[in-house]
Amino acid sequence: SLSHLRSAVSSSSPASSDPDAPKQPFIIGVSGGTASGKTTVCDMIIQQLHDHRVVLVNQDSFYRGLTSEELQRVQEYNFDHPDAFDTEQLLHCAVTLKSGQPYQVPIYDFKTHQRRSDTFRQVNASDVIILEGILVFHDSRVRNLMNMKIFVDTDADVRLARRIRRDTVERGRDVNSVLEQYAKFVKPAFDDFVLPSKKYADVIIPRGGDNHVAVDLITQHIHTKLGQHDLCKIYPNVYVIQSTFQI
């Protein structure tokens, strides 16, 4: 009802935006350590936002292809370092999608450590764009495009157990090489780059995809925010109070 609506907003502030301006998509960043349940959380959010157009862009897509020298000594390559990603391209992708334009996302092959040269994934304009990856909060320019930042916080032993299972079953690796890579690169990079970016999160989700309450709260908040976008169009003089919360 309108009275309910009036109590929820303040009309004393100036108009927040041009009512005729096209609605900008709502950008969500989802970060957390390897095998923390980021993708699961994203899938749960997407399911619950079924009445909106939602697209998922994974930072993994922006891995740089390895040179032949790097490929020869792939065990010494650090895939968990920020330099392993083409961050300029990720930024360009995020800016383009935020402006409502489509973007052609590269396709990275984890087996060959190369980008597919013959194809890409076309990502179209959407209401919600989710940027997912271990280091999506690392670059301040990418981070500042986000309307909401979520950190999936799962214990390291649970993550390592999942990582071993995933890399052996899905990526054809043996247990020893997974453990070696974990100790040499994955854990140090988590401590140096991933964990320090947790402070930028608006919401921290313990236990990842098992945490249905957190995902419910987050999607309710996003629904409200998307509704407010519409509200600004209908009531251009109404100023919506922003809020942040922590779980």
To ligand UZR, the closest distance from the beta carbon of 233 in angstroms equals 37
Phi, psi of 70 (to 5 degrees): -65, -35
Restricting to residues 53-72, which ones interact with ligand UZR according to CB under 6 A?
A: 60, 63
Residue of 48, 126, 181, 197 that binds ligand UZR (CB under 6 A)? 181
SS3 170: coil
Burial call 149-161: b when 16+ CB within 10 Å, e when fewer: bbbbbbebebbbe
Phi, psi of 29 (to 5 degrees): -100, 135
SS3 235: coil
Phi, psi of 165 (to 5 degrees): -60, -45
Q: How far apart are the first and last CA of the chain?
A: 29
Nearest CB to Mg ion, comparing residues 25 and 133: 133
Chain residue whose CB lies nearest ligand UZR: 34
The answer to whether 48 and 123 have CB atoms below 8 angstroms apart is: no
Asked if 80 is part of the footprint of ligand UZR (rule: CB under 6 A), the reply reads yes
Site string for ligand UZR, 106-145 (x = CB under 6 A): ----x--x--------------------x-----------
Residue 128: name its binding partner from ligand UZR, Mg ion, none (Cβ under 5 to 8 Å by kind): none
Asked if 155 is part of the footprint of ligand UZR (rule: CB under 6 A), the reply reads no
Nearest CB to Mg ion, comparing residues 185 and 232: 185
CA distance linking residue 85 with residue 76, whole number of Å: 16
To Mg ion, the closest distance from the beta carbon of 40 in angstroms equals 8
Site string for Mg ion, 39-78 (x = CB under 5 A): x---------------------------------------
To ligand UZR, the closest distance from the beta carbon of 190 in angstroms equals 8
| Beta-carbon contacts of residue 221 (< 8 Å; ≥ 6 apart) | 148, 245
Residues that bind ligand UZR (CB under 6 A): 34-35, 38, 60, 63, 79-80, 110, 113, 134, 181, 185-186
